[in-house]
Amino acid sequence: MAAVFKTTSVVLSRAEQPAIVSRFLSTSKRFFLNPASSVTSSAAAGKDLRWLLCYARHGQVKLDVHQSEANAVKDCFTQAAWRLVCRSDRVCFSPILRNRHLSFDSLVCYTQTLVENGFQVAPHPELLDYLIQSSYYFFDRMPNVPDTQDEMTLLRLATRHGAVSQKDFQRVHQWVLWVVPSRGSVTTRMTWSAVLRRANDWHLRQQLVVEHAKANDNLAEAQQDWHFACGALPWRGYAISPLANDIDLWDEGQAMSCCLYRLRDLCQKAKEPSRFFSVKKNGRRYATLELVRDLPRAHMHGPDRIHGRWRLQDLRLSHNRQPSEELVKMLTDFGWHYNILSQRPGRAPTTARPY
């Protein structure tokens, strides 16, 4: 049967006609003179994407001058990535938008990586925020948006599972960083519950090893402590304590929710070793400090030219969060002070222990 379409005619009075025509022309003018309308309304699946235009302007993105601003921004993305942006809320990208070290290109890269790994909507921003924070190899290095296969797989598993806390996600991510690279990657055929169970089992085994070492602490093990040029001392309103052995690093890592324990080999290096310190404020752990000793260089002066120089290498708050500039300056000064202490008579280690 042929489809029947019913039309309805509307008859307007002479007085009504000018008003209707005026509203039509006004609407048409707004549409054609405001190219952002194609980004901020129905073309974007009902999403208001003015934030994207503002972010591109703020980042001084170079756009195609032969296109409208809105279409030029849209063309920065592939079709699949653009659909993901339109389907996702702005808050899903907020960890990128508010990080001054990331850029519009970071956003484009992140959305493209997501669609290449099967995402249609961006994952929860709390997970993205954690992965960006964990990408800081050192506090003064630039971060990255997640782009590795393991990171994408963890995001897929967590998103498919539903509500996943940042604490559980961090626990699994640390397990992947420490163990999985040597035994094969996680895959999307796994379930989040199974992966979390394996990560918890591994953390428990590590805890048992540390507890066993604590229970059997004796003089021979105590002699394995790394050499420090000072003990615990106050520093401008903070208390700084050396982390002298594996157990200290484990306890600090557990308290600060970071992967400090896996860096313990850096303390045993013969050249350019690291030394870690717990920075406390009002009796509570506040930050973790790493000093590293540079090898002697021709441009150094005085004892530095003979022994090398200790300096600040890294500084983190809990969950690998970045420190304030004020704290960085304060503990950079501590690094210089520690370097002076290390060169005083009687502070040098024995030849059996690299300094």
Report the CATH number at residue 248. Answer: 3.40.630
Residue type, position 2, single letter: A
How far is it, in rounded angstroms, from Cα 14 to Cα 332?
80
Confidence class for position 298, pLDDT limits 50, 70, 90:
confident
Residues 226 and 192 in one domain: no
The pTM (predicted TM-score) of the whole model is 0.70
Query: Average pLDDT of 286-291?
Result: 96
Residues 255 and 188 in one domain: no
How far is it, in rounded angstroms, from Cα 68 to Cα 61?
14
Running DSSP on this structure, what letter comes out for residue 296?
P
Residues 62 and 174 in one domain: no
User: Which stretches of the chain are DSSP H helices?
Assistant: 16-33, 37-40, 50-58, 69-74, 79-87, 94-97, 104-116, 125-134, 149-161, 166-178, 192-215, 219-222, 246-256, 304-307, 325-342
Examine residue 304 and state whether it is found in any structural domain, yes or no: yes
Residues 232 and 175 in one domain: no
Residue 239, pLDDT score: 97
| Residue 4 reports pLDDT greater than 50 | no
Examine residue 190 and state whether it is found in any structural domain, yes or no: yes
Residue 349, pLDDT score: 52
| Residue 196 reports pLDDT greater than 80 | yes
CA 209, distance to chain mean position in Å, is 29
Within a 13 Å sphere around the CA of 64, how many CA atoms are in the beta-carbon half? 10
Examine residue 136 and state whether it is found in any structural domain, yes or no: no
Residues 202 and 238 in one domain: no
Residues 114 and 201 in one domain: no
Residue 218, pLDDT score: 52
Residues 224 and 324 in one domain: yes
How far is it, in rounded angstroms, from Cα 250 to Cα 263?
10
Residues 155 and 113 in one domain: no
Residues 246 and 209 in one domain: no
Residue 274, pLDDT score: 95
| Residue 220 reports pLDDT greater than 50 | no
Q: Which of 17-31, 54-68, 91-105, 273-287 has the lowest mean pLDDT?
A: 17-31
Confidence class for position 222, pLDDT limits 50, 70, 90:
very low
Q: Which of 272-276, 307-311, 327-331 has the lowest mean pLDDT?
A: 307-311
Compute the mean pLDDT over every residue in the chain, rounded to the nearest whole number: 82
Per-residue pLDDT reduced to its tens digit, 119-149: 999 999 999 999 998 888 777 778 899 999 9
SS3 of 280, please?
strand
Examine residue 191 and state whether it is found in any structural domain, yes or no: yes
Residues 72 and 160 in one domain: no
How far is it, in rounded angstroms, from Cα 202 to Cα 293?
33
Confidence class for position 348, pLDDT limits 50, 70, 90:
low
Per-residue pLDDT reduced to its tens digit, 37-55: 445 443 444 568 899 999 9
Residue 261, pLDDT score: 83
Examine residue 200 and state whether it is found in any structural domain, yes or no: yes
Number of domains making up the chain: 3
Per-residue pLDDT reduced to its tens digit, 223-271: 468 999 999 999 999 999 999 998 899 899 889 988 888 888 899 888 8
Examine residue 142 and state whether it is found in any structural domain, yes or no: no
Query: Average pLDDT of 176-192?
Result: 78
| Residue 322 reports pLDDT greater than 70 | yes
Residue 284's DSSP bridge partners are 281
Burial call 244-253: b when 16+ CB within 10 Å, e when fewer? bbbbbbbbbb
| Residue 354 reports pLDDT greater than 70 | no
Percent of the chain with pLDDT over 70: 80
Give ∠ CA 35-36-41 in degrees, rounded to 5: 120
Q: At what angle do helices 166-178 and 125-134 cross, to 10 degrees?
A: 40
Chosen domain end from 199, 216, 233: 216
Examine residue 141 and state whether it is found in any structural domain, yes or no: no
Residue 39, pLDDT score: 52
Look up tokens 């992966």; give the residue: 195
Q: What's the domain range around 99?
A: 29-122
Residues 276 and 309 in one domain: yes
Residues 210 and 231 in one domain: no
Examine residue 300 and state whether it is found in any structural domain, yes or no: yes
Chosen domain end from 186, 216, 246: 216
Chosen domain end from 169, 190, 216: 216
